[in-house]
Structure 1
């Protein structure tokens, strides 16, 4: 579902935006911050048990008023993941400032204000309140962008949201992703806290470790010991986490490395690089091991693969 507003009349600065917000979320009242022309767009998908929306708009504020709540039966929370711009969410005397990569929580059963002074873009996860712990509403501090672990969690949520919004998944797949997103959000405060990482729920930690592997596969030291050190847990615990995927840590790492090397071999801008240089840049230390693994994954040795791709 999609909504788009570009008001044509000066006396109606938001056009149908209030109705668009009500259709996509709950009844909200938009208010102007500046005199600049307004434009807004919402794309929404159902990923039961939650709904995911991509919101892009000019700067303005939205208010959830007591009168809205009195006539509503909704029991939702908005968990907004800031993508662009700077947001400010105020509720119950508490203020959350959100830079790109940060989360902010707004409970629709109580009044709130969400303000953006300039153009912004965000993902809104509309989550049933019962799926989120009470601790999430007690002066939440969800500045994910401030730490590497938080940034990894933010990227994971973004990837899942983008996947759902493509609309190419079945209802079952979307529901699975939605349930996982809700679980990631529910455990975000624990993950950012200075606690033993082994207390974090398994799907959360596994997702972030897989994201770390995807971003750092070119590190020759990457493996179970490095992950254990990075995420402050035992090496045995790392292996136990990855057992649930049906593949070892090494297999996940090598898959990412081979994929990176394939991209390099297909890239004409890398045609000056030798096979060994590409392998070492990808994180491999043993060229013979790389050649065997590459052929097993792609059916051709790296040199043959490059030659075939060139034709």
Structure 2
């Protein structure tokens, strides 16, 4: 099992027969011990499956892709007593979700809720990809008491919420393990709130999930979109809001509620990016103006002024130091 550069982020792939030392080690270390599941071929007698696992507090974000794998809770794995719930998302191809004696097929962007205290499984074939969010049962039932009523069903409605879950899964799975413990628990709670909105809950809890989880998740996604596009000179509150399906005024208010404006956040992130590039030895031969342009500063004179005001030294002096 390959552990990435965070203690709770793992990536591993197995391709080969469903027997032998390598298979049994992968099956035991990653699947049974970390996932609390077993894994068998989804088609034929071989396995081709890549797994990415991110652990955020008690919530696990996973991505599984490949051409042959069935990830399941078997009679043997049920002996561990774990009773969490798992939201499975089909992101590419068709995914077969088995829940006790009942099976459903998920097409792209559809979701299904499974109960890990009973026999259940997810089968992939023909180069599919599925995402999963494993949640402690008590954590989900606190915000969505009737979540168990939606077990083993195709969750195909609520398109905006499903889109938010998909985008936030990508953000939380990749960024979450690199944040501090408080940040990880907040991201986990925000994801649980989004799932509660998908499943449906009472009016008071819906208001809580919207104000606590959905709003925070949308702001995290807005910020991530800004950071991913710092090099664009045409990056504006209008373009960011449009991509998120918000009005510019609504997006601006979301930034302002954190004590800053969109413009201030954008400038700060660009300055931090240039500082990072300046301090990287691999960039020692690049001109300061090139680094500024790559961070979205078309006007070098303006860049030099705001950089010195922010850090107290010129870009050249910071590089020399």
TM-score when normalising by structure 2: 0.63
Q: Distance in 1 between matches of 2:61 and 2:166?
A: 20
Does the 8 A contact of 1:152 with 1:211 survive in 2?
no
Q: Distance in 2 between matches of 1:44 and 1:206?
A: 21
Q: Deviations over 1:157-178 (max 9, x none)?
A: 22344337xxxx44x5543332
Matched, 1:220 2:237: no
The within-5 A match list for 1:88-103 is: 88-91=95-98, 92-96=102-106
Does the 8 A contact of 1:141 with 1:189 survive in 2?
no
TM-score when normalising by structure 1: 0.64
Q: How far has the Cα of 1:290 moved from its partner?
A: 1.4
Q: Deviations over 1:182-236 (max 9, x none)?
A: 234555799xxxxxxx999311211111111011122223233333333343332
Matched, 1:283 2:299: no
Does the 8 A contact of 1:88 with 1:114 survive in 2?
yes
Point out the structure with the larger strand share: 2
Unaligned runs of 5+ in 2: 1-7, 201-209
Helix, strand or coil for the counterpart of 1:125?
Answer: strand
Q: Distance in 1 between matches of 2:170 and 2:277?
A: 24
Partner residue, 1:194: none
Partner residue, 1:79: 87
Q: How far has the Cα of 1:112 moved from its partner?
A: 3.8
Helix, strand or coil for the counterpart of 2:191?
Answer: helix
Q: How far has the Cα of 1:284 moved from its partner?
A: 2.2
CA RMSD in angstroms, aligned pairs only: 5.0
Figure out how many residues of one structure are paired with residues of the other and give that number: 286
Matched, 1:242 2:255: yes
Work out which of the residue numbers 244, 247, 252 in structure 2 matches 1:231.
244
Does the 8 A contact of 1:18 with 1:29 survive in 2?
no
Partner residue, 2:69: 60
Give the 3 Å change call, closer, same or farther, for CA 150–241 of structure 1 in structure 2. same
Q: How far has the Cα of 1:253 moved from its partner?
A: 0.7
Give the 3 Å change call, closer, same or farther, for CA 286–269 of structure 1 in structure 2. same
Helix, strand or coil for the counterpart of 1:201?
Answer: helix
Q: How far has the Cα of 1:258 moved from its partner?
A: 1.5
Does the 8 A contact of 2:17 with 2:23 survive in 1?
no
Matched, 1:257 2:270: yes
Partner residue, 1:162: 177
Give the 3 Å change call, closer, same or farther, for CA 247–188 of structure 1 in structure 2. farther
